[in-house]
Amino acid sequence: MMDTPEKTRTSSSLSKFEDSPVFNYINSLSPIKPVKSVHVTQTFNPLSFASLPSIFTSPHVSSHKESRFLKRSTDPSKPELSSADGTKVSTNEEAGVDIRESFDTRVSLGEVSFELPNEPSRIAIELPQTSKYVCGSSKCDPAPCVIEMNCVSESTCTSLAIVPFVQEASQKGLCDGVEVAATFQIEQNRETIGCEWENLISDTSDLLIFNSPNDSEAFRDAIQKSLEPGTRFFSTLISQFPEDDINEYKDQNEGTGELNEINHVNESFEDNNVRNFVSASLTDYMETRMSAPYSMKPGSNLHRGFRRRCLDFEMLAARRKSLDGSSNTNSSVDSELEPGKPSGDSSRCIVPGIGLHLNALATASRDNKNSKLETLLSGTQKLIFPCSTTSNTLAADQETAHESFLASASTETETNDVENGVQLSEDASQASAYFINEEFNQNSPKKKIRRLEQAGESEACKRCNCKKSKCLKLYCECFAAGVYCIEPCSCQDCFNKPIHEDTVLATRKQIESRNPLAFAPKVIRTSDPIPEVGDELTTTPASARHKRGCNCKKSNCLKKYCECFQGGVGCSINCRCEGCKNAFGLKDGSAIVEAEEEEEEETKKILNTEPAALPTTPLQLCRPLPFSSIGSSSAMYTGNKYGKPNIIRPQSIMEKRFQSVAGDETPEILRANSSPGTGIKTLSPNTKRISPPECELGSTSGGARSGRKLILQSIPSFPSLTPKH
């Protein structure tokens, strides 16, 4: 669909890769001696390593993947999908064969890597990558998630984020060869990969999602293997080596603990020890990351959350379907899936973003020790953190961290892949991500807890108080957010519960039929509009905008009555508000900005001079802000929490970096491609190469139009904030 400039780009790196021993080895794995077509090699190249630039960089791949995978996720029953180009995506069962097919068809790297000849290997590979999204599950080591988040946020974090793992692995006695390979890979790609790692993650996540619940066993297994941060990476690498080699390594290192540990995890995943281990790992890792240069910061990982947010409703339905057709009988999973089960109500209700976080807290307080959450590992689609899953032995701070992590992870893992595969909610995820990041920044565990609790109780959690709507209308915040009501809700006659799944789904459909965007994020993050800087979008002062705009008459857009304000975004031309004084951006300001956007310099001046709008615009113009954190109704809390519009508040380093890369590289296109909810994916490293460097946005004002058109076309589900186009 899109031009893939990366092809040329990849070709150069390709030759290098081909020469590498690893490449040769990979080739040896495949019975097929493919004629080295450029395409094949290109795709293959990225394949073998975690960070493979070419695949991710290609918009084509992204788009391709998007549609294909989303569909797949929605239909778990389907053993395999056929991509638009006929590429076959194999399920675990077919992993052995598909690799060739993938190569032949030039499937994206991620796919290829997943489809290694032997299933175990494939799983191992997949897991590490997918685990990022899975982290939310109690059974998964959060650390990987953290890493991923960093990577995502960090435009160029690829090597940085990965290296630590490698080092860690080495310290733990992992195979030297593996380490070397990983490191080498990282170094090799560092310069060129950019954000590709991020894409990889996205891709893998998709794959993960695609895995039907039927694969839950394998999936779980893989997750277990990835529990340990070092292990995770290790697993990935391992997957690329022959089993014999691995076994050999095992024999040689018997008793060293690393592999044993992994095995142990696999064997006793349910065991408290494992849980403790995971929690401890998480805590340790988090501490490490906090002090690290790229430690999470507010809004840093927003992008990941965008597309990960899942509507519980759909999830449930999907899982149900899968269950019907499968023999998956994992009790924990089943219980979770079982709509009627009481435990499900509270635990299973995934509140997007902050809400999720709050739920976690609530659950934790309720049943701290044996949270059902940990059972939530449901296949690939919905992975829920053990909200309180932290083992009883965990220290308070650990718990907090864990919870925070859970919230973030769950958010991330959540997928909105619904029936249409398009609907993606991002706001909540963004908000949660932001929130979590902030929390992590808190030095004091107790403070963290307090903050979390406060946030959760006051704003984070989606709790409704519906009296008449039965929580089946958009009046209900829970319903509107795509989550089931939970215990903390004070609703009456609530039908928004798993028990009434059918009703919920039917109602939802009905509402969507009326308004397809009804469940879409109300606030669209900045990054989406950014490309439009040159266009109407720029007119609005706020980097993010409300989908429909507000209609405030008396609140002057200064209270939460105003959805724009609530979402932490400025009013836009779409707003019909009266007497707008929105601190995040005046509706009127937009006009000013618009007029002057023609000239970057002018705009900058304007920004500097204009109080409300100014803060937002400047950033916008120069580069896309991963506004995500502020992006949604739920997100708005975070925005408010920090008191100032996203624009205004200092962005985290990571965020900035991300922006620089993303914005400069016109990832927007990809974003558009992927539904708005797919913030992560949207970022395309490719754009880097494609588009000219620096401040593309600003410069694009003139030439951005073409790019913008692309965006508009590609994003059907999310109407552009600026209806003009």
| Contacting residues toward DNA, per CB under 7 A | 463-471, 473-477, 480, 511, 514-515, 518, 522, 548, 550-556, 559-563, 566
Residue type at 464? C
Chain centroid, CA 666 distance in Å: 19
> By C-beta, is 133 or 495 nearer to DNA?
495
Give the separation between CA 637 and CA 432, rounded to whole angstroms.
Answer: 9
> By C-beta, is 316 or 583 nearer to DNA?
583
Burial, 668: exposed, middle or buried (Cβ in 10 Å; 0-12, 13-18, 19+)?
Answer: buried
> By C-beta, is 472 or 621 nearer to DNA?
472
CB of 498 to DNA, least distance (A): 19
What is the DSSP code string of 589-646? HHHHHHHHHTSHHHHHHHHHH-TTHHHHHHHHHHS---GGGG-SHHHHHHHHHTSS-T
621, 607 contact by CB (below 8 A) = yes
CB of 422 to DNA, least distance (A): 19
> By C-beta, is 329 or 510 nearer to DNA?
510
> By C-beta, is 369 or 467 nearer to DNA?
467
> By C-beta, is 447 or 559 nearer to DNA?
559
91, 219 contact by CB (below 8 A) = no
What is the DSSP code string of 265-302? HHHTTTSHHHHHHHHHHHHHHHHHHHHSTT---TTTTH
Determine phi and psi for 378, rounding to 5 degrees.
-105, 105
> By C-beta, is 33 or 514 nearer to DNA?
514
> By C-beta, is 393 or 515 nearer to DNA?
515
CB of 223 to DNA, least distance (A): 35
CB of 470 to DNA, least distance (A): 7
Burial, 94: exposed, middle or buried (Cβ in 10 Å; 0-12, 13-18, 19+)?
Answer: middle
Residue type at 656? K
CB of 464 to DNA, least distance (A): 3
> By C-beta, is 450 or 553 nearer to DNA?
553
CB of 172 to DNA, least distance (A): 46
> By C-beta, is 451 or 463 nearer to DNA?
463
CB of 364 to DNA, least distance (A): 22
Residue type at 48? S
* Angle, helices 587-597/613-622, rounded to nearest 10 degrees: 40
CB of 635 to DNA, least distance (A): 12
Radius of gyration of the chain, Cα coordinates, nearest whole angstrom = 23
> By C-beta, is 237 or 577 nearer to DNA?
577
Give the separation between CA 115 and CA 484, rounded to whole angstroms.
Answer: 35
CB of 303 to DNA, least distance (A): 24
List CB contacts of 583: < 8 A, sequence separation 6 or more.
558, 565, 612, 644, 645
Residue at token pair 């070397």: 180
> By C-beta, is 36 or 559 nearer to DNA?
559
> By C-beta, is 158 or 629 nearer to DNA?
629
CB of 257 to DNA, least distance (A): 50
Of 250, 244, 245, 248, the residue nearest 262 (C-alpha) = 250
CB of 414 to DNA, least distance (A): 21
* Angle, helices 119-134/95-105, rounded to nearest 10 degrees: 80
> By C-beta, is 496 or 674 nearer to DNA?
496
Q: Is the dihedral of CA 406, 411, 417, 419 positive or negative?
A: positive
413, 383 contact by CB (below 8 A) = yes
Q: Is the dihedral of CA 282, 201, 683, 307 positive or negative?
A: negative
CB of 219 to DNA, least distance (A): 35
CB of 581 to DNA, least distance (A): 11
> By C-beta, is 448 or 546 nearer to DNA?
546
Determine phi and psi for 269, rounding to 5 degrees.
-65, -35
CB of 512 to DNA, least distance (A): 10
Of 568, 603, 561, 605, the residue nearest 583 (C-alpha) = 568
Taking the alpha carbons at both ends of the chain, their separation in whole angstroms is 20
Pairing of strands 88-89, 377-378: unpaired
CB of 442 to DNA, least distance (A): 24
545, 625 contact by CB (below 8 A) = no
Residue type at 168? E
> What is the rounded (10 degree) CA torsion for 172, 177, 182, 188?
140
Of 295, 44, 57, 53, the residue nearest 191 (C-alpha) = 53
CB of 491 to DNA, least distance (A): 7
CB of 480 to DNA, least distance (A): 7
Six-digit token pair at 105?
A: 């068809």
> By C-beta, is 65 or 357 nearer to DNA?
357
> By C-beta, is 558 or 695 nearer to DNA?
558
The three-state secondary structure class of 382 is strand
Give the separation between CA 514 and CA 533, rounded to whole angstroms.
Answer: 31
CB of 520 to DNA, least distance (A): 10
Q: Is the dihedral of CA 713, 718, 722, 723 positive or negative?
A: positive
Query: How far is CA 473 from each of CA 397, 406, 449, 511, rounded to the nearest angstrom?
Result: 38, 28, 33, 8
Residue type at 122? R
> By C-beta, is 579 or 693 nearer to DNA?
579
Six-digit token pair at 316?
A: 């449930």
Pairing of strands 88-89, 523-524: unpaired
Of 646, 645, 640, 649, the residue nearest 583 (C-alpha) = 645
